Amino acid sequence: MSGLAPSRAAIEALFDDALDVAPEERAAWLHARCGGDEALEREVSLLLAAHQRSESVLDVPAAGRVVAVLDDDRRGRHIGPYRVLRELGRGGMGVVYLAERADGQFRRRVAVKLLRASADAEELHRRFLAERQILASLSHPNIATLLDGGVADGALPYLVIEYVDGVPITEYCDRHRLDVATRLRLFRDVCAAVQHAHQNLVLHRDLKPGNVLVTRSGEVKLLDFGIAKLLNPTLTDVAAPVTRTAFRLMTPAYASPEQVRGDSLTTTSDVYALGLLLYELLAGSPAHQLTTDAPRAVYEVVCEREVERPSARVVDDEAIAASRGTTSERLRRRLRGDLDAIVAMALRKEPGRRYGSAELLASDVARYLEGLPVLAHRGSGFYRFEKLLRRHRAAAVAAAASVLLLVASAAVALRLASMAARERDRAAGALAQTERTLDESEAVTSLLVGLFEASDPTEGRPDTLTPANLLRRGVARVDRLASQPLAQARMLESLGRVYASRGDFATAGDLLQRALVVRRAELGAGNPTTATTEAALADVLRRRGQYSAWDSLARDALRVRRLALGDAHPDVAASLAQVADVAYMREDLASAEAYMRQGIAVRRRGVGQDSMLARDLATLGTFLCARGRNAECERELREAVAVARRAFPAPHRERARAMLRLADALDDRPGGSAEAESLYVAALADTRAALGDDHAETAQVMKQVGLMLARHGRKTDAERLIRRALAVQERTLGPSHLEVARTMMSLGEVLRDGGYSAEAERVFTDAATRIGGSLGTDHPAYSAALEHIAESLAQRGALDSAAALYRRMITIWASTFGPEAGITREIKAGLAGVLARQRRFAEADTLYRDALTSLHAVTADSHRAVRRTYAGMATLYAAWGKPDSAAVYRRRAGDVDLRDLWP
């Protein structure tokens, strides 16, 4: 019996743990935990009794935890359209069932995670929605895929996730007696999945063997993002779940020191958990030897006690060694040195001294497998010499024999010295590159952490940490990395990409240009990392209307990537698509098609690239439509939709994008409107399910659906949907973003066609003002806004003003692509329509024929742009008193409504 009164902290900590124990087991559990401390046991017992009384009306085991455990046997029952086969497991948020689709849409078995009814249902529901958002954002062959979701009976939400018929990675390795090298290769797959999550700003926070399964075919699958966290919660519209008790959101034996302390978590927290997983794969037992989950005990083991080296843990344990296909002595020797060092670096107590990323940890493991010096060792000269001897054992033996036998000693010694020098230089170069990479990662991580340090009054208040403020702070601090130029370049590129996503292309271009200058100086122009920066800058220059520079950089990035990476790398496919876009914009449709087909061939050779293959197929389909090859266009677009559905069985933005491309094509041809409408609706439903209503991409799809409704005569519905899209975009992207202006122009079209010409003209003028202010008045997007204004002016009879705007547009396009470019001539066709109404028939005729010459060079008569020109010419010849010519061109125009084309 203790002579001291128990502290309030000890009472509350023990009470909190007791809530996780079944009520009927609490008394025995508490007695054992208190270890004879009667005062502590009495205080906690009183709290538990009061708690039980307060919860009796709900008949629940614990406040803030599950109240309805769903103990009923659900076998044979349904959750939405899924028939339950059996229970797979239970967790803090719900129950997971093995199920299959009951309506016959597909036959595969799935895992259905059903949220439990709960006293703190609001918090659990937020966490459940956050898990759905996180899974929807991840697409990786080693991460279990989100397939579906819905609401079951009783208004309980559920997720449908890929069913992984596998076992925990540690069990799989032991069952198959996998050697150390094979275990390390599996571990690298785990690192790849975690790295993908980190690249999508997701921390897993619960990495452990039970959440890493291996299938019968040996494929790793990372599961359970139930307590994962978005590094930037502003990227989702789901409110961040409230963290009530740190110990309820982690598995103590697999927690990092900062997780136990309740500190902020970063990607290095997951790196620590990966280190624990690696330790267990190698040594056969958990690194943290916990005998209790008591907070004080966990703190002591995880935060204060150094982990025993794996090689020391396996001494004389023949069972562990046998499960690795070796003896204990050989296993100990295998682990001693490099592997001990790799594990130790991953498990350092200080986050800043660990590997900076999962990718760097995997890279060091790869170096070990290849016999190269590992970064974790940062070895001495003797260590590197030892690595040389192991990699060139035969040469070493020969050298020794030569010395002993004194046969040709000088020649052999010189040759071996040369070999050793070359190998030493190669090893030193590899190590130096690795150290540079780690330094770069640590520097960037340090800077990023500094941006989010809101608790320090000198750094700024938490309520000022808006995305815009963080970006400005990042730009202001990036010069602190001047002594580490590669880290600075990495940060500059990251900031540039974010600014580009927010529509600030001027700032984005400046940052990416700075990054490119640094990388060219440090890495050389022929380095693929430099090419990545070139490609990013090229895309920004396209958006800024600097098409020549876009063309030059895109082609240079393609050349570098092909030379450095070969023709089977996904980066090469990305560059081919970018160069194809350049050719398409320049109306070189044949080259655009050729580049796109090359990129698709690269994608088809790759593994796990279905999402990008779907996008490239859809782009190829668009190019073929532009050439008037409608049957081929439709075939490619339908394959794009099929590939996207295969890659993403659940609602996903890429699936929606493919459906939209096909819908656009079908809606432009006779008999295709019904299927097109169903595809538009499905795409909108997919985007809403994947991203939510309050997302910029959902708004973009809303706009496209609205335009479809307008084409089908449903002007009121169209206007309402486009206004809603505009509101979302202004809120999420900001009022000056280019996409906001484009949606305004779509709204103006609907208003004008609905008879609200004055309001439409005001909307068009507002859009032009915004584009001019953000991108300049010589940008092609500004010209697009002027075209809408010109059409409105012509519609109300202000023909001179309309003609003046068309001439200004011609100047903009001619300065960008040249006076003979097809797009320039198409704008001249718009001017021709105005001139025809001014009865300047000859001038109009010349402009129309120039436009036709340009269009016929790149596309077929069936293309809508050609038919629009034919329709304009029919109107011209009818007004000019040439009915026969008018009839000819009216027939060629087909079903184009002249009122929708020219004012």
What are the pLDDT digits (tens) for 490-500?
888 888 888 88
- pLDDT of 375 > 70? The answer is yes
Percentage of the chain beyond pLDDT 90 is: 26
Q: For residues 354 and 284, what is the distance between their CA atoms, to the nearest angstrom?
A: 22
- pLDDT of 452 > 70? The answer is no
HEC secondary structure over 4-65: CCCCHHHHHHHHHHHCCCCHHHHHHHHHHHHCCCHHHHHHHHHHHHHHHHHHCCCCCCCCCC
- pLDDT of 98 > 60? The answer is yes
- Indicate the CATH number for domain 797-900: 1.25.40.10
Q: For residues 98 and 374, what is the distance between their CA atoms, to the nearest angstrom?
A: 43
pLDDT at 733: 84
157-162 and 109-115 strand pairing: antiparallel
Structure tokens, 880: 């000019």
What average pLDDT does the segment 653-668 reach? 90
Confidence category of residue 450, pLDDT binned at 50, 70, 90? very low
Q: What top-level class would CATH report for the domain 80-163?
A: alpha beta
Angle at 172 between CA 101 and CA 287, to 5 degrees: 120
pLDDT at 266: 80
Q: For residues 44 and 899, what is the distance between their CA atoms, to the nearest angstrom?
A: 81
SS3 875: helix
Question: Is 113 annotated as ligand-binding?
Answer: yes
What average pLDDT does the segment 680-697 reach? 88
pLDDT at 488: 86
Taking phi over 0 as left and psi of -120 to 50 as alpha, with beta for the rest, 449 belongs to alpha
pLDDT at 555: 93
Count of other CB atoms within 10 angstroms of residue 23:
15
pLDDT at 241: 37
- Indicate the CATH number for domain 165-376: 1.10.510.10
What average pLDDT does the segment 739-764 reach? 92
Query: Which of the residue ranges 226-230, 388-392, 597-601 has the most confident prediction, judged by mean pLDDT?
Result: 597-601
> Do residues 238 and 133 make contact, with C-beta atoms less than 8 angstroms apart?
yes
- pLDDT of 896 > 80? The answer is no
Nearest Cα residue to 113 out of 70, 142, 76, 143: 70
Active-site position among 16, 206, 270, 667: 206
What average pLDDT does the segment 242-259 reach? 65
Looking at per-residue pLDDT, the higher value among 126 and 528 belongs to 528
pLDDT tens profile 329-356 = 899 999 988 999 999 999 999 888 888 8
3-7, 183-187, 590-594, 868-872, range with the lowest pLDDT: 3-7
Q: Cβ contacts of residue 817 below 8 Å, gap of 6+?
A: 547, 586, 823, 824
pLDDT at 653: 85
pLDDT at 105: 58
Confidence category of residue 464, pLDDT binned at 50, 70, 90? very low
Angle at 97 between CA 95 and CA 99, to 5 degrees: 155
Looking at per-residue pLDDT, the higher value among 449 and 367 belongs to 367
What's the chain's average pLDDT? Answer: 77
Tell me, yes or no, if the two domains 80-163 and 797-900 fold the same way: no
> What's the CA dihedral at 891, 892, 897, 898 to 10 degrees?
-90
Q: For residues 712 and 731, what is the distance between their CA atoms, to the nearest angstrom?
A: 29
pLDDT at 586: 78
To which residue do tokens 């659940």 refer? 650
SS3 158: strand
pLDDT at 648: 82
pLDDT tens profile 716-737 = 999 999 999 999 999 888 888 8
Q: For residues 418 and 423, what is the distance between their CA atoms, to the nearest angstrom?
A: 9
Taking phi over 0 as left and psi of -120 to 50 as alpha, with beta for the rest, 755 belongs to left
Confidence category of residue 432, pLDDT binned at 50, 70, 90? very low
pLDDT tens profile 193-225 = 898 887 766 777 889 998 899 988 888 998 876
Confidence category of residue 162, pLDDT binned at 50, 70, 90? confident
Active site residue 206: yes
- pLDDT of 459 > 80? The answer is no
Chain centroid to CA 12:
41
Q: Where are the domains of the chain?
A: 8-51, 80-163, 165-376, 797-900
Percentage of the chain beyond pLDDT 70 is: 74
| DSSP letter assigned to residue 248 | G
CA dist 9 to 51, 257, 264, 295, 732, Å?
18, 20, 22, 11, 44
What average pLDDT does the segment 631-652 reach? 89
pLDDT at 458: 32
pLDDT tens profile 469-485 = 666 776 777 788 788 88
For every residue of 89-119, DSSP letters joined together read EE-SSEEEEEEEESSSS---EEEEEEEPEET
Q: For residues 360 and 256, what is the distance between their CA atoms, to the nearest angstrom?
A: 18
- Whether the model clears a pTM of 0.75, i.e. scores above it, the answer is no
